[in-house]
A and B are shown apart, each in its own frame.
Chain A
Amino acid sequence: MNQLEMRAIYAQTLMELAAQDSRIVLLEADLMKASGTTVFRDRFPERTFNVGVAEANMVGVAAGLSAGGKIPFANTFGCFASRRTYDQFFISANYARLNVKLVGTDPGVSAAYNGGTHMPFEDAGIMRNIPKLVVFEPCDPVSLKALVIQSARHQGCTYMRLHRKAIETIYPENETFELGKGKVLNDGNDVTLIAVGAIAVAEALKAAEILIKDGISAAVIDMHTIKPIDTELVLQYAKKTGAILTCENHQVINGLGSAVAETLSEDYPTLMKRLGVDDEFGEVGTQEYLQERFGMTAKNYAACARELLKKKNNIQKKSK
């Protein structure tokens, strides 16, 4: 499979957008090299603002640029983008109804060697509490490009979790995407894996391959936008499979799992299990180690799917 570096796709997409639209500007807080946007700076130096190690100021300046009619993309590690700039993003950008595109890189275990201080398991969750904010996380280079373009066109703030590393392409190049609309990657009848982000979606797809060998037909949904959540699709697959597993590189508290649980419990109570980090801090290690440590593997997803199916079948037996 074709591996592409996500940050390179991100920077390339921003440059394409900037070439068409003079309102696109870039902000960095001394992590330009990590974000991979030095190429943007080289091409559009006058539209690039590196504020140094001052994330709160970066988001405030982005809000001001937006008030001046620009469409700012501001990047930093997800831990800083969320925890360190929350009030600036909340008030100066969102409350002011401006148009700031905040990007938090290195979501969850992808922070790897930077360890627990730099490992955001809660960023999407705390962002989900901001009224009207669109929160999303692409899972491959194709969806990344399409969703960044959508984000630029969206009138209002967005928060994107960006997995920076090289990962495999899942979607065909001409696939179309819409913020707020999940994608069914694999259809199935017995259980549904709703996943978000590069790690969880890839592992969920592999889990479906494992499960099919046991004769279990698992649907896999890429729920790239966790806010607004695609209620219609969640309910459709709850009705179709009667068992939902959510998979995320994030706390199960207030992330995708919560969003899906809220939808189901209000509209169509369905057996479900939330997979992700269960009320723990991050820690240091290779991404591979950390995926094992926090259960973000196809093997664990498949095992949990089997458990869930067992419960579903027991309930069905009892009701008969």
Chain B
Amino acid sequence: MEIEEVKQLQAKAKEIRKMTIDAIGYLGVGHIGGALSVVEILTLLYEKHMDVSPENPRKKHRDKLVISKGHAGPALYSILADKGFFPKEWLHTLNAGGTNLPSHCDMNRTPGIDMSTGSLGQGISAAIGIALANRLDGIDKKVYLIIGDGESNEGQIWEGAMAAAHFRLNNMIAFTDYNKMQIDGYVHEIMNVEDLNAKWNAFGWFVQRVNGHDFQDMNMAIERAQKELYRPSMIILDTIKGKGAFFAERNLANHNMNVNYETAQEACRLLDTPDALEKSL
């Protein structure tokens, strides 16, 4: 990937991050930590890799994304709004009664959402089903899946890990958003998931581990995964929960927190002044 493209992606990610902070701040509360840790991967997928069309969100031949950590919905809504799946004004309706943008992803309410998620662990099975359906129909498209690190405590993740490898789902590319925090504390203190590389390897997946905020690294990993002939891919993303929001980053309480709108706006401004943001952390 050319430097110019990386710069464009970085600029886009900044925009998406601002939109996400703004939407949660406007509401006053939300799952900001786990939304901000996946901004870069979502930006990369939707800007560069995924074949989707906002004018026809349900076209049969398309790449699909299952965001199993459904509480990251607000980040996904920002990129979908930016792509034109729905008006950007919707972002200020997050969690309002009757909204099309609920806290957790809902395929029946939000254009561009491919699977309803929210009960952790379930997205991997759904992604397997979609990958199997694609194979049956000869649809040469990918199913992308994002799971959380805390979510990896769920037994269903490992049932799915076994099945995807068994069915040789090379059309499935998964990511673990390894932001090292879960609701009650640090993952290694609450329920350690390590050694993640070894675990996914042992289950028969093609495993890579990269910086989840670095476009160049992630892009190379995705391109390698796309060339896999037999195995599903797991790309473990080292990320920072609450990345980029001065009030949330590295704050153990950032899973679902109150956010004052002025604070949110201040956080968006700081994103334009990296030095000041660095000092504020």
Residues of A within 8 A of B (CB): 25, 46-47, 49, 51-52, 54, 56-70, 72, 87-88, 91-92, 95-97
19 pairs, A vs B, C-beta closer than 8 Å? A46-B136, A51-B163, A54-B159, A54-B163, A56-B159, A57-B125, A61-B129, A61-B163, A63-B115, A64-B66, A64-B129, A65-B133, A68-B129, A87-B119, A88-B119, A88-B125, A88-B156, A92-B119, A96-B107
In chain B, positions 85-127 with a C-beta closer than 8 Å to chain A are 107-108, 114-116, 118-119, 121-122, 124-127
A63 shortest CB reach to chain B, Å: 5
> How far is it, in angstroms, between the C-alpha of A14 and the C-alpha of B224 when the chains are bound?
40
A56 touches B125 (CB 8 A): yes
B136 touches A96 (CB 8 A): no
A57 touches B163 (CB 8 A): yes
B37 at the interface (CB under 8 A from A): no
> How far is it, in angstroms, between the C-alpha of A63 and the C-alpha of B129 when the chains are bound?
7
- Cβ-closest chain B residue relative to A29: B159
> How far is it, in angstroms, between the C-alpha of A28 and the C-alpha of B125 when the chains are bound?
14
Q: A61-B126, A67-B107 are in contact. List 18 more A-B contacts (CB 8 A).
A: A47-B136, A49-B132, A51-B159, A51-B163, A56-B156, A56-B159, A57-B125, A61-B125, A63-B125, A64-B127, A64-B131, A66-B129, A67-B129, A69-B137, A70-B129, A87-B119, A88-B125, A96-B116
The interface centre, meaning the residue of B126, B159, B167 with most chain A CB atoms within 10 A of its CB, is B126
Task: Decide yes or no: A64 and B126 within 8 Å by CB, A46-B136, A96-B107, A96-B116 being known contacts.
Answer: yes
> How far is it, in angstroms, between the C-alpha of A96 and the C-alpha of B125 when the chains are bound?
14
Cβ-defined partner of B130 (8 Å) among A47, A68, A91:
A68
B253 at the interface (CB under 8 A from A): no
A52 touches B125 (CB 8 A): no
Task: Decide yes or no: A57 and B156 within 8 Å by CB, A64-B129, A92-B125 being known contacts.
Answer: yes
> How far is it, in angstroms, between the C-alpha of A47 and the C-alpha of B60 when the chains are bound?
19
B126 touches A70 (CB 8 A): no
Task: Decide yes or no: A49 and B167 within 8 Å by CB, A64-B132, A67-B115 being known contacts.
Answer: yes
> How far is it, in angstroms, between the C-alpha of A57 and the C-alpha of B129 when the chains are bound?
10
A70 touches B136 (CB 8 A): yes
Task: Decide yes or no: A68 and B163 within 8 Å by CB, A57-B125, A91-B119, A97-B108 being known contacts.
Answer: no
> How far is it, in angstroms, between the C-alpha of A126 and the C-alpha of B128 when the chains are bound?
27
Cβ-defined partner of A60 (8 Å) among B122, B133, B136:
B122
- Chain B residues closer than 8 Å to A65, beta-carbon distance: 129-130, 132-133
B162 at the interface (CB under 8 A from A): yes
- Chain A residues closer than 8 Å to B124, beta-carbon distance: 60
B242 at the interface (CB under 8 A from A): no
A25 touches B136 (CB 8 A): yes
B64 shortest CB reach to chain A, Å: 8
> How far is it, in angstroms, between the C-alpha of A49 and the C-alpha of B134 when the chains are bound?
14
- Chain A residues closer than 8 Å to B136, beta-carbon distance: 25, 46-47, 68, 70
> How far is it, in angstroms, between the C-alpha of A62 and the C-alpha of B127 when the chains are bound?
10
The interface centre, meaning the residue of A47, A57, A72 with most chain B CB atoms within 10 A of its CB, is A57
- Chain B residues closer than 8 Å to A56, beta-carbon distance: 121, 125, 155-156, 159
B45 shortest CB reach to chain A, Å: 18
Cβ-defined partner of B126 (8 Å) among A47, A54, A58, A60:
A60
- Chain A residues closer than 8 Å to B60, beta-carbon distance: 69
> How far is it, in angstroms, between the C-alpha of A182 and the C-alpha of B160 when the chains are bound?
40
A143 shortest CB reach to chain B, Å: 30
> How far is it, in angstroms, between the C-alpha of A49 and the C-alpha of B130 when the chains are bound?
13
Task: Decide yes or no: A61 and B128 within 8 Å by CB, A88-B156, A96-B108 being known contacts.
Answer: yes
- Chain B residues closer than 8 Å to A52, beta-carbon distance: 162-163, 166
A71 shortest CB reach to chain B, Å: 11
A26 shortest CB reach to chain B, Å: 12
> How far is it, in angstroms, between the C-alpha of A63 and the C-alpha of B130 when the chains are bound?
8
B129 touches A62 (CB 8 A): yes
> How far is it, in angstroms, between the C-alpha of A178 and the C-alpha of B178 when the chains are bound?
50
> How far is it, in angstroms, between the C-alpha of A51 and the C-alpha of B162 when the chains are bound?
9
A95 touches B127 (CB 8 A): no
- Chain A residues closer than 8 Å to B107, beta-carbon distance: 67, 96-97
